[in-house]
Amino acid sequence: MLGDVSVKAAHMLSLPKVSNFFCKLIQRVAPKSYQQAHGEVYVTQKFLENFAGDQVRFLARSFAVPGNHLGQQSHGFRWPYGPTAIITPFNFPLEIPVLQLMGALYMGNKPVLKVDSKVCIVMEQMLRLLHECGLPVEDVDFINADGKTMNKLLLEANPRMTLFTGSSRVADKLAFDLKGRIKLEDAGFDWKILGPDVQEVDYVAWVCDQDAYACSGQKCSAQSIVFMHENWSKSSLLSQMNELAARRKLDDLTVGPVLTFTTEAMLEHMHKLLQIPGSKVLFGGEALKDHSIPSIYGAIKPTAVFVPIEEILKDNNYELVTREIFGPFQVVTEYKGSSAPNGIGCP
Amino acid sequence: MLGDVSVKAAHMLSLPKVSNFFCKLIQRVAPKSYQQAHGEVYVTQKFLENFAGDQVRFLARSFAVPGNHLGQQSHGFRWPYGPTAIITPFNFPLEIPVLQLMGALYMGNKPVLKVDSKVCIVMEQMLRLLHECGLPVEDVDFINADGKTMNKLLLEANPRMTLFTGSSRVADKLAFDLKGRIKLEDAGFDWKILGPDVQEVDYVAWVCDQDAYACSGQKCSAQSIVFMHENWSKSSLLSQMNELAARRKLDDLTVGPVLTFTTEAMLEHMHKLLQIPGSKVLFGGEALKDHSIPSIYGAIKPTAVFVPIEEILKDNNYELVTREIFGPFQVVTEYKGSSAPNGIGCP
Amino acid sequence: MLGDVSVKAAHMLSLPKVSNFFCKLIQRVAPKSYQQAHGEVYVTQKFLENFAGDQVRFLARSFAVPGNHLGQQSHGFRWPYGPTAIITPFNFPLEIPVLQLMGALYMGNKPVLKVDSKVCIVMEQMLRLLHECGLPVEDVDFINADGKTMNKLLLEANPRMTLFTGSSRVADKLAFDLKGRIKLEDAGFDWKILGPDVQEVDYVAWVCDQDAYACSGQKCSAQSIVFMHENWSKSSLLSQMNELAARRKLDDLTVGPVLTFTTEAMLEHMHKLLQIPGSKVLFGGEALKDHSIPSIYGAIKPTAVFVPIEEILKDNNYELVTREIFGPFQVVTEYKGSSAPNGIGCP
Amino acid sequence: MLGDVSVKAAHMLSLPKVSNFFCKLIQRVAPKSYQQAHGEVYVTQKFLENFAGDQVRFLARSFAVPGNHLGQQSHGFRWPYGPTAIITPFNFPLEIPVLQLMGALYMGNKPVLKVDSKVCIVMEQMLRLLHECGLPVEDVDFINADGKTMNKLLLEANPRMTLFTGSSRVADKLAFDLKGRIKLEDAGFDWKILGPDVQEVDYVAWVCDQDAYACSGQKCSAQSIVFMHENWSKSSLLSQMNELAARRKLDDLTVGPVLTFTTEAMLEHMHKLLQIPGSKVLFGGEALKDHSIPSIYGAIKPTAVFVPIEEILKDNNYELVTREIFGPFQVVTEYKGSSAPNGIGCP
């Protein structure tokens, strides 16, 4: 049955009219370019296609292994949790809730879904589409609430499992409140390491730009530090990254508001980094101008700061350099020789 | 890419206009009721849905197992055969060729497809639909030919693998000609065994009727013999089976022409069975009347013949009773006691 | 490498001299019959055999799925947690720690192992055997401590995952302390339901006896309630269960000390049950006599108490009847009709 | 049960006394060094370990997928063929028959086994060891016969599947006689391609020597041609290969008799190659001296012949150069530039 819902919903999302509607709706609430919003709709469509036909029932495949005697068998079955909860963030208003919600439903759970209240209109519309495609209205509870209310609901409803995507601060509190009956979508301060072989500089520059600045850096996988071998310094990599960053503008939302850091907070962080000997701004490093972004949000140009690797390795700098800024901000450093930089362990 | 073709083609088949077109086209060439033809279209649609999205690429999943030393690994990959051939029969003009063709394509093969020439118009139309949905025209070679020509083609083209569905006589010849580079879809004289617990007689009667007489018995899985425990003889099973068989009529193709046995051949087989002591006709056993089926095809009423189980076990009768008649014909027998009838081994 | 350790250790455990040593060592610290202790050694041996040869490396099998472009692939790898902790209970001094420890090692973790201090000598000897079979001594940290010390160690060492088998009270505390970075082996108040078909009474009685009284009922899967259809009441089931229970004696440890309930606690629980109208003692219900079991442990005869099913369904009785007694104590009840008793949901 | 047989047999093969017995027995009948024979015993031991414990039953794991209605399920089971036949060659007298025989037994088949009559004493002794370890004597039929008799047996016994490892000539005949009910272990003229990056020359030379000359080249995977980038010509690769080949001697069977080609046949093949312009002997190219190998077998020094790649690509030379010589003989060639040599497709 959910296979039918999936294939119908996927087909709806493949229609230009529907796809366009969701792209624009996402852009209304999240600072994304049209292309990026479209990527989110497309991934959601493909996910739904993956569970077309009988694929949902294949998820519930059980097994049996024979024993020593006639009739003796070991069986393995997959069971749903039953009552579950899903809490999703602002940065992917469609993709994250749909994928997590459908996953819960496919395995037979009864989820209550809470989407970040700034962007939940997208999922509200998507639920209506799913209902139109045959999803029974009683299969999902959709709640619009602030975090405090949701926390109370979780404590009272006591779901068997909660799936949370969001800040590590809230994750910690929930892990505690729910005594560990929680799954967390992981995030972090992400690294990119460029080895000694310099090739396809255009492509690498484009990937660095997308990784660091798409969605104004508000992705769990946003590149926060680049380790480049000295061979790359001699290439056009940095200048190309600079050019690509410079093309980003508010008009088409290739750069946009930062929802969890103010402009001041980000610039202050940058200034602290610049006090490290040898540090310098590669590009960016200024507030955006001529915009109407409210001051409770952040608005800076895509920014890259160079910090020497010897300095990063010092204890008092390490914490500072690897602090996660959920915005268009990255650190670049350089290493020499034939092996990876000593003393840096991936966290 | 084939994931996209699959999901589009599945959507097309889900449209009433398209589905109806194929149902009627199937009915033009194969003796099936509308409902049965629709079943074929529906199964084909669901199969295509199963390979929507990324499911095609998941088929090509490889694995790696670590060895004892750094860098030592065992890898397993799935490779296509390359040039392959598919030969499909008359009784499922859409389902069998689509499922087997797409399977070959999904794994990266280049197949040549031959469908039985009496029904190949269905697949010819389906190929046009697949092309419309994005299948490159050069990916499949479609040939309309008689068996002799196809045999010559196979010997000259020497495909790496041939998938054959059809009579065991041709299968034997091909296995020989192709030195075993062939896969055969299995068939046979099929059995149904009813144990001592009598329950849901309505449902069992309906299943027996469908298994034995749908598509005029021209299915590889058509029920050819029923072993019923004596408890079932006392139930209304046989009278219900008789009633259901009597409802079948030429008008809606719930009974139709038999393509591989003439009326005379089937009735002659029945008369041989009736010479076994204790045998009797349960129902049917007559030629159809008032029809325009050419005499090279068969046309009999859905028929059931009872043969005592002691007689079936005799060597000279066993061969006769278990001869496969690819038409609306079945044998019924009865056993006593608490265990399965002695001396009967499933072939 | 661990494959070699496993096969060697399994071979050692298959030697009568070694097997006998561990059986007797288990009997010194846990109230089990020789046969039961031997079962534990045997299961441990079979587990180790399952990971002989290359089976350990097969656990680390990775996969790859092709993308849309040359070189684009999705890879899935299995990673160890790294530092982990394992805490195991008194009732299976060999089987539980070996299976859990080896599982952790097979996947590349560095575990610290704590076994209940009353029985940890068994695992201490087993570790020496594993070292003899090639396990590097630095691969496992083995700690003998009380729960309080272990709790402190966990909070300070902060392992990535802790595997705990034991009481739900401690499990709750640890889930809280470790913010959910814990896996719990499940347990509970277990049920056995006998349907209306009475057959193989001997075997069923034997299974009931083993399930309820082996290891003096100190197994997570110990049968705590039997629902028998009224047809079984007319059979010799209860009298056979009584006979089997009566054969159990202290001499061969087929009955033994209960480590987590005193004799008084168990008898008091029984007396509360007997105040329910219609309840009665089926057999047992007395303290063991002529023994040297210290009074901080429990010592009662294998006991069964009948409680009418209508009474169990009453709210105030339900909690009492389903209280888990980790000893040789079970409740028996009876139901009528063709379906399962109404209103009883498995917890 | 077979899990127990496997673990016991593996343990036996791990005992130095038993291992040594089989190594020497292999050396009596096959031209292998002690180390190579030991490799065969070791691989056989590890294979048996892989099927210790419950691993055999895991092979028979079945699955079930839920349908649309209560009770509707799709089940998949693995069935044995029943009567099967295994025919194995002279070059691995222990490893090939044990692995193939146990595989057949694990899945529940009843195999008849024929090992090449020159070497079958090894498997005859191994069967006695398996019987000692608990394999029922009636589970395997072991036949010592020539090919003609075996062919007759296959035609009369008509096994459901035959597994053949041996020459392509016999394989072709069997595929025909058995109408394809045969599985063939693949072989061929094998290639090694060295790219432009020259590194670890010692190791590469050692691998080339082992691949080409171990077991006097009588392995299905024996390297028959080396394509080296011109960079390798400037390295010490060829001189190191020469040195390694020169160390091989009859005394320790690092070189030995060739069972399927005479000395004359191999030298004649070499002389034909040397008529190609630019060809030359790199090393070897002479008959062995001072030996007692009967003249029906071959006896030449490990030989490498260089042929220019332009000449190999010519049609009339290609067939000659890629003819498989199942002995210590290989062709070496050289290519230039950054990509693989044009026009050479792997067969």
CA dihedral sign of residues B189, B193, B199, B201: positive
DSSP string, A239-267: HHHHHHHHT--TTTTSS--BSSS-HHHHH
Main-chain dihedrals φ then ψ at residue A287, nearest 5 degrees: -70, 150
Mean pLDDT of B25-53: 93
Model confidence pLDDT, tens digit, residues C190-212: 899 999 889 899 999 999 999 99
> Do the chains contact at A181 and C180, CB–CB below 8 Å?
yes
Residues of A in Cβ contact (< 8 Å) with B50: 52-55
Query: Which CATH number applies to C190-335?
Result: 3.40.309.10
Model confidence pLDDT, tens digit, residues A330-339: 999 999 875 5
- In this predicted structure, the answer to whether residue C145 has a pLDDT above a threshold of 60 is yes
Which residue has better confidence, B324 or A130?
A130
Query: How many residue contacts between A and C have a Cβ separation below 8 Å?
Result: 19
Residues of D in Cβ contact (< 8 Å) with A60: 65-66
Contact residues, A window 160-189, toward C, CB-based 8 Å cutoff: 172, 175-176, 178-182
Catalytic residue among A132, A138, A208, A220: A220
Which chain D residue lies closest to A55 (C-alpha atoms)?
Answer: D65
List, edge to edge, every strand of the sheet that includes A73-76: A73-76, A62-66, D62-66, D73-76
CA dihedral of B272, B273, B277, B278, whole degrees rounded to 10: -150
Residues of A in Cβ contact (< 8 Å) with C172: 179
Tokens at A24, concatenated? 């624009």
Collapsing DSSP to helix, strand or coil, A219 comes out as coil
Q: Which residues contact C336 (CB under 8 A, 6 or more apart)?
A: C229, C230
- In this predicted structure, the answer to whether residue D347 has a pLDDT above a threshold of 50 is no
Strand partners, C115: C88
Which chain C residue lies closest to D11 (C-alpha atoms)?
Answer: C11
> Do the chains contact at B182 and D182, CB–CB below 8 Å?
no
What ranges in B145-296 are assigned the alpha helix state H?
A: 147-157, 168-177, 201-213, 230-233, 237-247, 263-274
> Do the chains contact at A58 and D68, CB–CB below 8 Å?
no
Residues of D in Cβ contact (< 8 Å) with B178: 180
What ranges in chain D are assigned the alpha helix state H?
A: 2-14, 16-29, 34-50, 55-59, 95-106, 120-132, 147-157, 168-177, 201-213, 230-233, 237-247, 263-274, 309-312, 315-321
> Do the chains contact at B52 and A47, CB–CB below 8 Å?
no
pLDDT confidence of residue D301? 95
Which of C327, A62, B291 lies closest to D65 in space, CA to CA? A62
Contact between residue A6 and residue A49 where contact means Cβ atoms under 8 Å apart: yes
Model confidence pLDDT, tens digit, residues C233-275: 999 999 999 999 999 999 888 998 998 899 999 999 999 999 9
- What percentage of residues in chain C have a pLDDT greater than 90? 70
Tokens at A19, concatenated? 């796809």
pLDDT confidence of residue D188? 66
- What percentage of residues in chain D have a pLDDT greater than 70? 96
User: Range(s) for CATH 3.40.309.10 in chain A?
Assistant: 190-335
- In this predicted structure, the answer to whether residue D216 has a pLDDT above a threshold of 90 is no
pLDDT confidence of residue C344? 47
d(CA C193, CA C190): 10
pLDDT confidence of residue A197? 87
Model confidence pLDDT, tens digit, residues D76-94: 989 999 999 999 999 999 9
- In this predicted structure, the answer to whether residue D173 has a pLDDT above a threshold of 70 is yes
Model confidence pLDDT, tens digit, residues A45-63: 999 999 999 999 889 888 8
Q: Which residues contact C146 (CB under 8 A, 6 or more apart)?
A: C117
pLDDT confidence of residue A344? 47
C47-61, C325-339, D321-335: least confidently modelled range: C325-339
Per-residue pLDDT of chain A (347 residues; tens, 9 = 90+): 899 999 999 999 999 999 999 999 999 998 888 999 999 999 999 999 999 999 998 898 888 888 888 778 888 989 999 999 999 999 999 999 999 999 999 999 999 999 999 999 999 999 999 999 999 999 999 999 999 999 999 999 999 999 999 888 899 899 889 988 999 887 667 889 999 889 899 999 999 999 999 888 888 778 889 999 999 999 999 999 999 999 999 888 899 899 889 999 999 999 999 999 999 999 999 999 988 888 889 999 999 999 999 999 998 899 899 888 889 999 999 998 755 544 444 33
CA dihedral of C66, C67, C69, C75, whole degrees rounded to 10: -70
Model confidence pLDDT, tens digit, residues A232-248: 999 999 999 999 999 99
Catalytic residue among C49, C133, C220, C324: C220
Which chain A residue lies closest to C183 (C-alpha atoms)?
Answer: A180
Distance of CA C79 to the CA centre of its chain: 29
Model confidence pLDDT, tens digit, residues D236-255: 999 999 999 999 999 888 99
d(CA A77, CA A146): 37
> Do the chains contact at D7 and C7, CB–CB below 8 Å?
yes
In a 13 Å sphere around the CA of D317, the CA atoms on its Cβ side amount to 17
The whole-chain average pLDDT of chain B stands at 91
Nearest to C11 among D11, D47, D54 (CB): D11
Task: List residues of D with catalytic annotation.
Answer: 185, 220
**Does C60 contact B at CB distance below 8 Å?**
yes
Which of C228, C198, C226, C232 lies closest to C303 in space, CA to CA? C226
> Do the chains contact at A178 and C181, CB–CB below 8 Å?
no
B263-267, C42-46, C217-221, C324-328: least confidently modelled range: C217-221
Query: Parallel, antiparallel, or unpaired: how do β-strands D280-283 and D303-306 relate?
Result: antiparallel
Residue count of chain B, please give it: 347
Count other C-beta atoms under 10 Å from residue B152's C-beta.
Answer: 11
Model confidence pLDDT, tens digit, residues B246-261: 999 988 889 989 988 9
How would residue D346 be classed by pLDDT, with cut points 50, 70 and 90? very low
Between 3.40.605.10, 1.10.1060.10, 1.10.340.30, 3.40.50.2300, what CATH number should domain A2-184 receive?
3.40.605.10
**Does D280 contact B at CB distance below 8 Å?**
no
Is B185 annotated as catalytic? yes
Collapsing DSSP to helix, strand or coil, C16 comes out as helix
pLDDT confidence of residue C338? 59
> Do the chains contact at A48 and B47, CB–CB below 8 Å?
no
Model confidence pLDDT, tens digit, residues C5-35: 999 999 999 999 999 999 999 999 988 889 9
Query: Which of C55, C59, C133 should we substitute to test contact with D (largest number of D Cβ atoms within 10 Å)?
Result: C55
Mean pLDDT of D290-309: 92
pLDDT confidence of residue C345? 42
User: Range(s) for CATH 3.40.605.10 in chain D?
Assistant: 2-184
pLDDT confidence of residue B187? 63
pLDDT confidence of residue B121? 96
DSSP string, D46-89: HHHHHT-TTHHHHHT-EEEEE-SSTT-EEEE-----SEEEEEE-
Which residue has better confidence, C189 or C276?
C276
End-to-end CA distance of chain C: give it in Å, rounded: 43
Contact between residue C245 and residue C304 where contact means Cβ atoms under 8 Å apart: yes
ipTM for the predicted complex: 0.81
d(CA C98, CA C94): 6
pLDDT confidence of residue C10? 96
Catalytic residue among C49, C133, C185, C310: C185
